[in-house]
Chains A and B, each alone.
Chain A
Amino acid sequence: METISTNKEKRSTKLRLVLKKQEDWLKKVEEISGQNVFACYQCGKCSAGCPMSAEMDLLPNQVIRLLQLGAVEPLLNCRTIWLCASCFTCTARCPKGVSLTRLMEGVRLAIFRTRKSDEISPKEMVKETLPQIALIGALRKLTA
Chain B
Amino acid sequence: MVLALASVVALILLSIFVVIFFESRESISRYGLNFLITSAWNPVTDEYGAFTAIYGTLLTSFASLLIAVPLGVGTAIFITEDFVNKKIRNFISVMVELLAAIPSVVLGLWAIFILEPFLRPIFQLIHKFLGWIPFFSTSPIGPGIAPAIIILVVMILPIITSISKDSLNQVPQRLRQASYGIGATRWTTIFNVIIPAAISGITGGVLLALGRAMGETMAVTMIIGNSNSFSWSIFSPGYTISAMLANQFGEADGTQVSSLMYAALILMILSLLVNIFAQWAVKKLSLKY
Determine if chain A interacts with chain B: no
Hey, which bits of chain B sit against chain A, CB under 8 A? none
